[in-house]
Amino acid sequence: MDEPRTLYRKIWDAHVVETMADGRCLLAVDRHLLHDGVAMYAFEALAAKGLAVRRPDLTLAVADHVVPTGPRDRPLAYEDDDARRMIRDIAAGCAAAGITAHLVGDPRQGIVHVVGPEQGFILPGTLAVCGDSHTSTYGAFGAYAFGIGITEVGHVLATQTIKQQRSRAMRVTFQGPRARGTTAKDMALFLMRSIGVAGGTGHVIEYQGSAVEAMSMEERMTLCNMTIEVGARAGLVAPDETTLSYLRGRPMAPAGADWDAAVAAWRGLRSDPDAAFDRDVTLDVTDLAPHVTWGTNPGQAAPVTAEVPDPAAAASEAEAAAIARALDYMGLRAGQPLRDVAIDHVFIGSCTNGRIEDLRSAVEVIRNRRVAPGVTAWVVPGSGAVKAQAEREGLDEFFRAAGFDWREPGCSMCLAMNGERLRPGQRSASTSNRNFEGRQGAGARTHLMSPAMAAAAAVTGRLTDVRDLL
């Protein structure tokens, strides 16, 4: 093709198997990730139709959503029989199909969106799917990655293909140097505040600009992870030397001559200079302050230096009603300084911010400090590999000394599983990706922020500008 193309269009075109009469395309799937929350339903569907897994070598399975994160030296405290059955069924189904699975007891077990990249299973230019909305995380590697439903999970297992309608292309450019204390999480919340939680609907976003180029791979994963929260189908960052450095030597990445051939192909994976995007958004992060959410969706965010918004100042009646409802649920009042909001619980973890760099940034804040009286603080590493690395570096000792609970890998309080939830009315400083009503427990109030900001909240007992502690 002679016409300039976006990175998204290049990956899409390379994976089209067939264009159907209704305009959708049948796409080849390179990488499929399977987790305990969907596996048993997909395996049951295949068994009912007498179908086998077509390419077990292209699927990687983990246990994460329903795994308790308490001590592993005693029987796991599953909340109900359904959770226990999910773990049993993913183990049995993967063993029967020949699918590689990192389950409880395996040192590689962890959250699917942490495990896939750290094992080198996600590669540039691939099409990757998983039965979880935050599959967009993998776009950090220049992969077209998106979440799929349970029925689609079964379809991918049986055919290694998926039917999709092509999305529009959107470019988000982050300009300027990022100040100390401001993170990828802050950039993501800034984007959501700027364009709204529906601002990316119908699009695949490609992130560009000097601030993105300067990011580590873990920061890029955080940014792409949150892409789904603006309604977009997926997020992408073109692969570069940072990408190659991260992937080189990973257990499931190419090696030797295969690595050299792959790198030669990956270097061409970027949007053409004259490629047309359907929408362009440019944001300057030079003076960006750390952000926190005050409401009940990730777009209801503000700099921590700001005040709780007033519904009376809203641009429309609908917006005023949304703000009023959020403040009522969150137990906040208009004009209240965000830095005056006291918290009960801190959760550092999740597929958004449960990686080694996230834990290091939190330790930088808590070193020689203690968790404030009345605050419960948890650290849940994103995977067994992250936990082991943190322990080799002695990060766990700093967390324990500060009064944090150092836990085992899993999704945990991000989605309130196995009793790992807040009580009604409790307020959380959380590094997860969603602050919907009830997300961390019925009646729980969640404020999203970076790991460093969550650590600052832990030691002060309130929402705090981490820059005051660095």
**Confidence at residue 350, expressed as pLDDT on a 0 to 100 scale:** 98
Give the other-Cβ count within 10 Å of 425's Cβ.
12
Both 264 and 303 in a single domain?
Answer: no
Distance CA 96, CA 167 (A): 36
CATH of the domain at 425: 3.30.499.10
Q: What is the rounded average pLDDT of the residues 352-363? A: 98
Do 307 and 378 have their domain in common? yes
Both 241 and 368 in one domain: the answer is no
- Mark whether 259 and 315 lie in a shared domain: no
In a domain, 197, yes or no: no
pLDDT computed for residue 364 by the predictor:
98
Residue 201 lies in a domain: no
- Percent of the residues in the chain that have a pLDDT greater than 70, as a whole number: 100
What's the whole-model pTM score? 0.97
**Farthest-apart Cα atoms in the chain, separation:** 64
Same-domain pairing of 217 and 329: no
Within-domain flag for 114: yes
Does a structural domain hold residue 175? no
Is 195 inside a domain boundary? no
Check whether residue 267 and residue 376 sit in a common domain: no
In a domain, 204, yes or no: no
Residue-wise pLDDT tens digits, 375-400 = 999 999 999 999 999 999 999 999 99
Neighbours of 270 (CB within 10 A): 19
Given 242, 273, 304, the domain boundary residue is: 273
Q: Which residues contact 341 (CB under 8 A, 6 or more apart)?
A: 332, 427, 447, 462, 463
Q: Do 262 and 319 reside in the same domain of the chain?
A: no
- One domain for residues 139 and 99: yes
Does 254 fall in a domain? yes
348 with 238, same domain: the answer is: no
pLDDT tens profile 236-245: 999 999 999 9
What's the domain count of the chain? 2
Model confidence at 73, in pLDDT bands (50, 70, 90)?
A: confident
Mean local confidence (pLDDT), 197-203:
98
Tell me the two tokens of residue 79. 């909340």
Q: Which of 65, 59, 66, 61 is nearest to 106 (CA)?
A: 61
Rounded Cα gap, residues 65 and 304, in angstroms: 30
Domain presence at residue 183? no
Q: Are residues 385 and 250 in the same domain?
A: no
pLDDT attached to residue 453 = 98
Give the model's pLDDT for residue 1: 56
Left (φ > 0), alpha (ψ -120 to 50) or beta: where does 176 sit? Answer: left
Do 254 and 315 reside in the same domain of the chain?
no
Helix (H, G, I), strand (E, B) or coil at 200: coil
Give the domain extent around 328.
294-468
- Contacts of residue 13, Cβ cutoff 8 Å, sequence gap at least 6: 1, 5
Of the two residues 74 and 459, the one the predictor is more confident about is 459
Mean pLDDT over 363-384 rounds to: 98
Together in a domain, 255 and 349: no
Q: What is the pLDDT of residues 135-187, one digit of tens each?
A: 999 999 999 999 999 999 999 999 999 999 999 999 999 999 999 999 999 99
Residues in the chain: 470
